[in-house]
Amino acid sequence: MNAVLSAENLGLSYPGRGLLKQRSAPPALQDVSLSIAMGDSIGLVGGSGAGKSTLLRILLALEKPDAGTVTFNDAPVVPGPAPSLRWYRRAVQYIPQNPAASLDPGMNVERLLLEPLRQLRIDGDHRRMILDALQRVDLDPGMLTRRPRELSGGQKQRVAIARALVPAPIFLLADEPVSGLDLPLRNTVLALIEQLVHRDGLGLLFVSHDLAAVARLCSQTLVLSGGRIVEQGSTAAVYAKPQTVEAKELVTAAALIHRFLPAPLPAPRP
């Protein structure tokens, strides 16, 4: 069966703060539905405060929605104690913003890659799994004894992505993984994620402000604004003919930024 991660009619309002406490804050998410199958690559774009991180936290079972459901292969995904979510974390892994910053400086690469296997109680040949993950990010086994400070920026990014890969997930949820990275590092991370989707067939939800990065990786795009999906379709179509003000602004911003980069704007995938 082709695995599917689905969200149906998600809604969430954070409680108001301070003077606004008594009034209801505008919903951070309203009536959001999406479905990602293995091999799908979906970009989730939207301006600041659109609700991207909120949606991601709900999909990662870190936040409980007020309304709607998340399911993985029809099994409900709800926040809970770590043991109740191990099955889900094995299948669905997360790549955070600036992944290298999440590496514990006191651990060598082998420990860093062993941790997720221990936490998720994954049995089997751990050494083999660690070497496989390293290979998938094009890192040499000689790196295993190094600590983060002994790695280049690009190597750190690769190790951080290998941490997400070591449990052999079939879905990746990535939250602005290239924002704040310089151009070579940005390209390293995008190329790696591209391989994982196109070579290995993982399902991807890629959250970004950057429509050019989405165009490189994702065949489908969802545009989120004010907590709602205001536009969705093939990335090529959203890029070429944005229908909403929000999508038009994102396309213009991507075109402006990439005018100043040496590489041409990536061609949208069909």
Residues that bind ligand ATP (CB under 6 A): 14, 28, 46, 48-54
- The set of residues, in sequence order, having a beta carbon less than 8 Å from that of 38 and lying 6+ positions away, is 2, 3, 4, 170, 171, 201, 202, 203
Q: Which is nearer to ligand ATP, 48 or 83 (CB)?
A: 48
As a whole number of angstroms, the distance between CA 254 and CA 20 comes to: 35
Residue 232 CB, shortest distance to ligand ATP, in Å, is 16
Find, among 131, 136, 98, the residue nearest to 113 by Cα.
131
Task: Give CA–CA dist 201/269, Å, rounded.
Answer: 16
Cα separation, 110 vs 173, whole angstroms: 23
**Nearest CB to ligand ATP, comparing residues 155 and 225:** 225
Nearer residue to ligand ATP within complex by CB, 136 or 186: 186
Report d(CA 142, CA 157) in Å as an integer.
16
CB of residue 228 vs ligand ATP: minimum separation in angstroms? 11
102 versus 195: smaller Cβ distance to ligand ATP = 102
Q: How far is the CB of 238 from ligand ATP (least distance, A)?
A: 17
Q: Scan for tokens 């939250």, then name that residue.
A: 175
Measured from the CB of residue 181, what is the shortest distance to ligand ATP in angstroms? 16
